[in-house]
Structures are given as C-alpha cells and as structure tokens.
Amino acid sequence: MDALARLRGLIIDDPQGKDFRVHRDVFRDPDVFDWEMRHIFEATWVFLGLESQVPSAHDYMTTFIGRHPVVVSRDDKGELHCFINSCRHRGALVCHRAFGNRKYHVCQYHGWAYDSSGRNVHLKDREQAGYPPSFDKEDHDLVKVRKFAGYRGFLFASLAADVPSLEEHLGEARWFLDLIADQGEEGVECVPGRIVFRYRANWKMQLENAVDPYHFTSTHASYIQVLERRQKSAAADVPTSIYTNIRNAGIRRGSFAFARGHAAMWGDTPSPQARALFPSYESLVARHGEVRARWMFHTRNLSLFPNMQIAENASLQLRVMRPLSAGATEMAIWCIGPKGEAAEARRQRIRQYEDFFNPSGLATPDDVANYEDCQSGLAAWSIAWQQGHVRGFEASVAGADRFADEIGLQPERSLIGPVELGDETAFHPAYREWLRLIEAGLREDESRAHVAARGAT
Ligand code: FES
Ligand SMILES: [Fe+2]
C-alpha cells in the first residue's frame, strides 16, 4: 500500500456518521513517527520557549524543532535570533547547555566561533588553510531557522518558510494565551527551575491528556483522597487546592475545538480561593473587565498543536513535548506566573505546583504511568482501533456556544456539560491537523518522486 493510502486508513473522521476513530498504529508505527517529524514538527510552527527566558544581551536557550537542535539567542542589540545548533564546519553542537549567557559560541572541535547573532566571527588558522576560492564565497554563519516569531512573549519557529503567519497559525487560540499573558502587568515568566523527564510512550498520549477531563477522577483518585484527608485537618473555609470540593455537584467542563489543531478545555474551578492569583482578582477586574477576570479563574488547559500546552488548574504549568520515537517522549515543564508577583502568592503557586505536577508530584506520575500502560497495551498489534474518541459527540455543537459568545470567540466546535461527560471531542482538531499536514507532506514527496522519475527517463 502506498504511503498516502496507508495514512488515510489511520483516521476515520465522519461527522455525518457521528464517528471519529484513531488507528492504534498512529501511536506505535515507526514510519508514522517519521512522517510526524518531517511533515509536522519540521514543517509547521512549533513552540520554543518564553521570551522572558532570555531577557539580557547574549542570553541563550537551546531546544529542538523536530530532530533539529536549535539555539534561541539575544544579540548585543537585544534582537532575538533562532539558528540551528550545528557548526557549519563538521556539524558539532556549538551550544551544549539548556540556558546560559555567551557573547561567543566557540565550537570545541576545531574552534570556529560565532557571535550571539549566529554570525561566524572566527575561523581558526584561516590564513594558513589553503582553502580554494569557492570556500570564501560560502556563508559560514550558523543557519537561521526560516520563520521565527513571538506572540505576547511566547516564541515559535518553523523550519519551513511556506507557513501562515504565526497569528494566523494560532488563530482563536490566541485568546487563551492572552488570558495567561494578561495576568501580570508585564506578562508572565518561568519560575526558576525546569524539570525534564522522559516517558516510554507516544507524544500524543500527552497531547490528548491535557484536554481529557474523563481521566481525572479515576487516574487521580489518590490525589482527591489526599485532598479530602487534608481538608479534614484544615479550616473548613480554607481550601488547600483548587480541586478541593471537586466531588461537589454542578462542576461543568467545556471545550473549544480550534482550527490548525489547537484545543482548549475549560470549566468551573471547585475552589478558586485557593489560586495564587485570588488576591489579585479586583485588580484583574479593573484592568481587564469582569468577564476576562472571571475566565482567568476558570480551570483552563490549552493545547497548541503540536508541542505546547498550558495547564491552569492546580497551579500554572507550561509544557513542551519533544517526541523521541514512536514509543518515547521527552517533556520539559515549568511553573509560570505573573512577573512581579507578591512573594506570598509566588510561594503558594510553587507549593501547589510541586504538590500536583512534576515527577515528584501527586498527579503527574499517575498520568505518565497511564501513558506507559497504554503504550504497553498497544503492543497488541492485532487490535486496530481505539475506542477513545467519541465521548461528547452528541453534546458538541458547530461554532460558538454561549460561552464562546461571551468571550467573542468563533471556535470550530464548542461543548459544555457536567464534568462526568468526559468529553473526547477536544482531541479531534489535533488529529485533523495531523492528517492535513502529513497528507500535504506525503503529496509533496510523491510529486517530487514523479519529477525525479521523469528526469531519469
Ligand atoms: S566541527 Fe565545529 S569547528 Fe569543526
Ligand atoms: Fe491528569
């Protein structure tokens, strides 16, 4: 079977027939992983980090775009650059640390040196080299990533030049980024300290889980029990977590499906008084109005296709996914908060973050254990299809519901229901974009192969 036919057999997206299915090979096939690298991660906008992570001249951070190691660096004029972390000489990494400050990046192999804008400023023993004239005509600077842009301090890049503008790519999902950025008068920042961990399962387990309300009461049952025990020894009116009282009736969960693979899950916060942001409520209303301030206190998980998520629930977390293989993923996670936050609120934010997130928290390990369990179960190659993508189908409506209307959004689909509804329709936009991008890439491969074949005859 050719690649395009095989791809089309992996997703069933049939709104009329009220069916949406994902084939299990999507999570376990190394060929599919290769398509994802070439036609998604190396062909569209991916998230890199926050501008506030490189605040000063010569600050840098390293990350990946698909398989490409890249550096984000601020030059001496304050301008940001994104270049591929590979020496032009023989390919060595020029930058080895996750973060730092360096005026020059000197390759440790043969000593070529680049400044903080990526310009080659030194080629060791050039005069004695006996280079042919053609060598001097070549550009020896680090290779710039073709598209590099920021939105409200969130930095994105694309290896491919033929992508829409970043604003168009983010589309309506920008509203949810605004809601994060507007929490501080000068935006948000990463709390110092980053956790990187790997799990033995596909990256799309994480992609789905961030907008999966269905898993919470079963996966995090022990967390809920801990909260209930804690609450017995705490003052009745002082919730210890935003999830305190999660079992109370009437908690709603909604979702918005956006274009280009993005989705948001939102809902009532059982105990908003526990939020680090709570003391700022009045000033947030004054700055942003009652509706936007109220939405800042809703529980909100945003998933920006393909590699970034922001979870504002127990605390505020930024996640970046880096797929390593069909069955392995690296996660980089940060606690984020408003710049200039009061010390007591920051302390509360960090304690809540540590309590719920991190590999040492009470929730993240349960999520990750389940991803790995799923991947182990998916080794059963004789089973073709998942049954995990149609909950909420009957509750989902095309376009905006009254909640989207309230905030002036036009999502592709909206849904609201009790938390027990356990919506799975918020996964659909990611798989639609997944299919669209890989299909476009495979078509290009095909037409290139035809041109090459014609040239050969
Ligand atoms: S590989 Fe960098 S100087 Fe040789
Ligand atoms: Fe979870």
pLDDT in tens, 98-156: 999 999 999 999 999 999 999 999 999 999 999 999 999 999 999 999 999 999 999 99
Question: Does ligand 1 come within 6 angstroms of the Cβ of 110?
Answer: yes
Residue 325 CA, distance from chain mean position = 17
In whole angstroms, give the CA distance from residue 350 to residue 345. 9
What is the H or E stretch that residue 285 is in? helix 281-296
Domain ranges of the chain: 46-149, 172-439
> Which atom of ligand 1 lies nearest, measured to the CA of 91?
1
Mean pLDDT confidence for 361-378? 97
3-state SS class at 207:
helix
In whole angstroms, give the CA distance from residue 32 to residue 430. 15
Q: 319 falls in which pLDDT band (50, 70, 90)?
A: very high
ipTM of this predicted structure? 0.98
Q: What is the pLDDT of residues 24-80, one digit of tens each?
A: 999 999 999 999 999 999 999 999 999 999 999 999 999 999 999 999 999 999 999
Question: Does ligand 1 come within 6 angstroms of the Cβ of 292?
Answer: no
In whole angstroms, give the CA distance from residue 241 to residue 230. 10
CATH of 172-439, one of 3.30.1120.130, 3.30.540.10, 3.50.50.60, 3.90.380.10: 3.90.380.10
pLDDT of residue 363 exceeding 90: yes
Contact 414, 396 (CB under 8 A): yes
CA angle 32, 35, 36 (to 5 degrees): 90
Which CATH topology does 46-149 take?
Rieske Iron-sulfur Protein (2.102.10)
DSSP label at residue 23 = B
The pLDDT of residue 385: 98
Closest CA to 301 of 209, 187, 424, 407: 209
Place of tokens 């059982």: 270
DSSP label at residue 52 = G
The pLDDT of residue 55: 95
The pLDDT of residue 235: 66
Ligand 1, atom 1: closest residue by C-alpha: 90
- Comparing 249-253, 332-336, 355-359, the range with the smallest average pLDDT is 249-253
pLDDT of residue 279 exceeding 80: yes
Closest CA to 173 of 285, 266, 298: 266
Q: What distance in angstroms lies between residue 55's CA and the mean position of ligand 1's atoms?
A: 28
Q: What is the pLDDT of residues 385-416, one digit of tens each?
A: 999 999 999 999 999 999 999 999 999 999 99
Q: What distance in angstroms lies between residue 85's CA and the mean position of ligand 1's atoms?
A: 12
Place of tokens 């409520």: 281
Average pLDDT, the chain: 94
Question: Does ligand 1 come within 6 angstroms of the Cβ of 109?
Answer: yes
Q: What distance in angstroms lies between residue 266's CA and the mean position of ligand 2's atoms?
A: 14
- Comparing 28-42, 421-435, 439-453, the range with the smallest average pLDDT is 439-453
Residues less than 5 Å from ion ligand 2, measured at CB: 367
**Counting ligands in written order, which one lies closest to the CA of residue 120?**
1
Q: What is the pLDDT of residues 244-277, one digit of tens each?
A: 777 776 888 999 999 999 999 999 888 888 899 9
Ligand 1, atom 3: closest residue by C-alpha: 110
The pLDDT of residue 246: 73
Token duo for residue 352: 């809540």
DSSP label at residue 40 = I
**Counting ligands in written order, which one lies closest to the CA of residue 125?**
1
State residue 397 phi and psi, 5-degree precision. -120, 150
